Chain A
């Protein structure tokens, strides 16, 4: 029988033993779920994911520090993201002194008592020849009847670009617009307040507070009208042609940013945490398995050599394990990671730091297994059938692979299982501490939450830790089931 088939036999036995226990069944189900999600995420993962996560251009549209949408059931005031595709809206067309003007009237219903986080108008229009520039002007008519004229009024040169991207989180014309809309309050309005919190003045009810001696805002739910004038200076172009170009454009939209987002909310950069957590699955599993495989391989090799050959090499390995066991791992790990974080400046710093962390983990974590394998090898080596095999002239390699290895498979499996969560937990722990490698792992998300968030942003802090715990629970349960295979005394 070949080594492989023996290994397989041993493996099927282990699997049967594991599946005969409740914890084993749960662990198996969890493990399969983990693997499926990880493979799925790995397939969908954008190329150069680290960069995508760090500076992804799509995050600018999201509200930042936003709880998940279902947080409204927990009593959070939730304004959903509202997106208008203006290509599908029929504008009013007019022509004023050489300009073609399209007027879009968009109604927006604010139902929650809060302010949306921002506005954004974006267009990607290839205009016909002869169009010189475009002008965008936005008026807002509020539910209380006030009209904020021209919160933005801007020209875009369209000769070289087809992209218009107006970030209206802080619209330029807001101060004048508010001042002219609320003439009776002008004396009490603070220019600074308006320019720092424009959304409060667009979506709020303004009233003069006698006690505070200044204008106060409260959220003003109701029907808002956004009047968007999109006009073009044209030269020998029909307005229909431009309208057709607008309708066929890649993008022309108005976005009103909410205060809640998606399944898992967003972080301080507006990044969709659901996405980060999802792509974290394959990364976490890869990290765990990589370190576990490496340290187990070294442990098995060292244990076999130490037990089988004995003598000086045995003594050396044993004493090395001894000495390494007395050196405090975490402080050394923290020191190495921090030293590299502070001195290494290359582009690939995240990878270099992670590699260093894992190398230290591997170097320090093979000792326990080596000792177990050594004592197993010692006892198997003195069995009669090994003696017999030697007498017939079997080589060392043959004895190790045919008689010893198959018997220690359960221990190898147990060691793999026990050490897999180790690397994930350590990496996350270091990140939580503030040693940041920058690669978008679950630990990294947690570390950014600790650095840039407040602890009350539970949707940012709890899920990464929870996922880490689920992964580690999977392996702990698997280990629990394996423990009874490895140590029959623990059985009932």
Chain B
């Protein structure tokens, strides 16, 4: 009976969380649609597309060998313009165009990308499916950003427990200072410096990173020889990210561990003369698990959206560059799809955490 009450309690807690996370997802995508529509950005973009097509049509008419009379041209052009306006839905208010688009995004009917800039980032033909575009860019972000974050996390998890017994030592002070310094330097600026030094001054790293696409595609098809090609491109961005992020990560892990080391039960364990390794494993890592897992999972989930600014500095054709290309070219379809996916990944990670808390922390379980 008691078990049942507990389970129902856990289920309602999780259900409540799920509802609010879903609400966040809903709001994020609708907000995006609202910004696109209400600022008039979409209309500006579509109007310029229509004007360009009308201009091209008029050009074609006037330069054709059997040139129709002037009035005829005007009539044809006006007619063409009406057609285009109807095709793009510009005869309706923006709500009527954006809301169906948002709803389609939710049911993963992502449509096609009208923007050549966006499909160019993916390396696909113009007017490709948005889902194909995203599928092409996601592995590139995983190979760079997610990999770099994973390496950083591993370093932090290795170094954190090592320094937690040496608080105040030289190495500890050094790491705190390093963390403070790296907290202050934005990744994109360090990326610029690294490009300047390694690509332009020393010439040991590539200057253009777009060609990595060929190697990643080959690697995805199972050609392991392409790995060297990928590494040739990916090492500089990864080193950059690891250098910058390892500071705050190590500091964060250190802070979480210190809080626990100061607890009475750890002092008691030390007083009992237990070996360092055992104290670490049994009395420190276990209670620190849930905040660390939180950070790891949210950190990794966050990388899937790409680091927009850093990717842009390296001109790395991943999710971040894709999003920026979609925003600058006003490709509503892709913007909505990417916002949806960014938020969805984050929300799912949060939900997984809720479940993990219950598993990891016995106090939450009851």
Complex contact B35–A473 (CB within 8 A): no
- Asked whether B193 is an interface residue with its Cβ less than 8 Å from the other chain, the reply is yes
Digitize A264-293: 1 where CB-to-B-CB distance is under 8 Å, 0 elsewhere: 000000000000000000000000000000
Interface bin, chain A: 35 or more
The stretch of A36-44, A248-256, A425-433 that contacts the partner chain:
A425-433
Complex contact B176–A468 (CB within 8 A): no
Q: Chain B residues with Cβ under 8 A from A336's Cβ?
A: 35, 39
The stretch of A96-104, A149-157, A204-212, A339-347 that contacts the partner chain:
A339-347
Complex contact B25–A326 (CB within 8 A): yes
Q: Chain B residues with Cβ under 8 A from A480's Cβ?
A: 176, 180
- Asked whether B115 is an interface residue with its Cβ less than 8 Å from the other chain, the reply is no
Complex contact B196–A458 (CB within 8 A): yes
Digitize A400-439: 1 where CB-to-B-CB distance is under 8 Å, 0 elsewhere: 0000000000000000000001000100111011100000
> Which residue of chain B lies nearest to A318 when distances are taken between CB atoms in the complex?
B20
- Asked whether A489 is an interface residue with its Cβ less than 8 Å from the other chain, the reply is yes
Q: Chain B residues with Cβ under 8 A from A492's Cβ?
A: 167-168
Complex contact B258–A489 (CB within 8 A): yes
> Which residue of chain B lies nearest to A471 when distances are taken between CB atoms in the complex?
B184
Complex contact B328–A469 (CB within 8 A): no
Shortest B199–chain A CB gap in Å is 8
- Docked CA distance A473–B183 (Å): 7
Q: Chain A residues with Cβ under 8 A from B177's Cβ?
A: 23
Most-contacted residue by chain B among A328, A465, A477, A487 (CB, 10 A): A328
- Docked CA distance A465–B200 (Å): 18
* B24: contacting residue among A326, A334, A468, A477, CB under 8 A: A326
Complex contact B262–A331 (CB within 8 A): no
Digitize B330-366: 1 where CB-to-A-CB distance is under 8 Å, 0 elsewhere: 1000010011001100110010000000000000000
Shortest A314–chain B CB gap in Å is 15
- Docked CA distance A429–B359 (Å): 39
Complex contact B20–A322 (CB within 8 A): yes
- Asked whether B327 is an interface residue with its Cβ less than 8 Å from the other chain, the reply is yes
- Asked whether A384 is an interface residue with its Cβ less than 8 Å from the other chain, the reply is no
Shortest A26–chain B CB gap in Å is 9
Q: Chain B: how many interface residues by the 8 Å CB criterion?
A: 56
Main secondary structure of the interface of A (DSSP, over half): helix
Given contacts A331-B338, A480-B180, contact A434 B328 (CB under 8 A): yes
- Docked CA distance A157–B78 (Å): 53
Complex contact A335–B35 (CB within 8 A): yes
Given contacts A327-B31, A428-B186, A469-B184, contact A339 B309 (CB under 8 A): no
- Asked whether A490 is an interface residue with its Cβ less than 8 Å from the other chain, the reply is yes
- Docked CA distance A179–B339 (Å): 64
- Docked CA distance A96–B40 (Å): 69
Shortest A482–chain B CB gap in Å is 12
Most-contacted residue by chain A among B188, B259, B343 (CB, 10 A): B188
- Asked whether A1 is an interface residue with its Cβ less than 8 Å from the other chain, the reply is no
> Which residue of chain B lies nearest to A474 when distances are taken between CB atoms in the complex?
B184
> Which residue of chain B lies nearest to A425 when distances are taken between CB atoms in the complex?
B186
Complex contact A473–B181 (CB within 8 A): yes
Interface residues of A in 128-182 (CB under 8 A from B): none
Given contacts A327-B28, A334-B323, contact A429 B309 (CB under 8 A): yes
- Asked whether A316 is an interface residue with its Cβ less than 8 Å from the other chain, the reply is no
Complex contact B186–A469 (CB within 8 A): yes
Complex contact A332–B32 (CB within 8 A): yes
Complex contact A468–B35 (CB within 8 A): no
Complex contact A327–B327 (CB within 8 A): no
> Which residue of chain B lies nearest to A480 when distances are taken between CB atoms in the complex?
B180
> Which residue of chain A lies nearest to B338 when distances are taken between CB atoms in the complex?
A331
Main secondary structure of the interface of B (DSSP, over half): helix
- Asked whether A472 is an interface residue with its Cβ less than 8 Å from the other chain, the reply is yes
Q: Chain B residues with Cβ under 8 A from A487's Cβ?
A: 259
Q: Chain A residues with Cβ under 8 A from B193's Cβ?
A: 462, 465
Complex contact A323–B309 (CB within 8 A): no
- Asked whether B237 is an interface residue with its Cβ less than 8 Å from the other chain, the reply is no
- Asked whether B253 is an interface residue with its Cβ less than 8 Å from the other chain, the reply is no
Complex contact B196–A461 (CB within 8 A): yes
- Docked CA distance A456–B184 (Å): 24
Interface residues of B in 199-249 (CB under 8 A from A): 199-200
- Asked whether A338 is an interface residue with its Cβ less than 8 Å from the other chain, the reply is yes
- Docked CA distance A327–B22 (Å): 11
* B330: contacting residue among A342, A434, A461, A477, CB under 8 A: A342
Complex contact B305–A328 (CB within 8 A): yes
Given contacts A338-B328, A455-B200, contact A476 B180 (CB under 8 A): yes
> Which residue of chain B lies nearest to A328 when distances are taken between CB atoms in the complex?
B342
Complex contact A476–B183 (CB within 8 A): yes
Given contacts A338-B328, A340-B39, contact A465 B192 (CB under 8 A): yes
- Docked CA distance A281–B346 (Å): 36
- Docked CA distance A428–B309 (Å): 10
Digitize A240-263: 1 where CB-to-B-CB distance is under 8 Å, 0 elsewhere: 000000000000000000000000
Q: Chain A residues with Cβ under 8 A from B305's Cβ?
A: 328, 331
* A330: contacting residue among B41, B168, B308, CB under 8 A: B308
- Docked CA distance A469–B184 (Å): 5
What residues of chain A have their CB less than 8 Å away from a CB belonging to chain B? 23, 319, 322-328, 330-332, 334-336, 338-340, 342-343, 421, 425, 428-430, 432-434, 455-456, 458, 461-462, 465-466, 468-470, 472-473, 476-477, 480, 487, 489-490, 492
Q: List 29 A-B contacts (CB under 8 A).
A: A324-B24, A325-B24, A326-B25, A326-B343, A326-B347, A327-B24, A327-B31, A331-B338, A331-B342, A332-B28, A332-B339, A335-B327, A339-B36, A339-B40, A339-B41, A342-B41, A343-B40, A430-B309, A433-B308, A455-B195, A455-B196, A461-B192, A462-B196, A465-B192, A469-B186, A470-B184, A472-B184, A489-B259, A490-B259
What residues of chain B have their CB less than 8 Å away from a CB belonging to chain A? 20-21, 23-25, 27-28, 31-32, 35-36, 39-41, 44-45, 167-168, 176-177, 180-181, 183-186, 188-189, 192-193, 195-196, 199-200, 255, 258-259, 262, 305, 308-309, 312-313, 323-324, 327-328, 330, 335, 338-339, 342-343, 346-347, 350
Task: List the 4 closest A-B pairs by CB distance, nearest first.
Answer: A473-B184, A326-B24, A465-B189, A339-B41
| A334-B324, A342-B330, A492-B167 known, 8 other contacts, Cβ within 8 Å | A331-B305, A331-B323, A332-B31, A432-B188, A434-B312, A461-B192, A461-B196, A469-B189
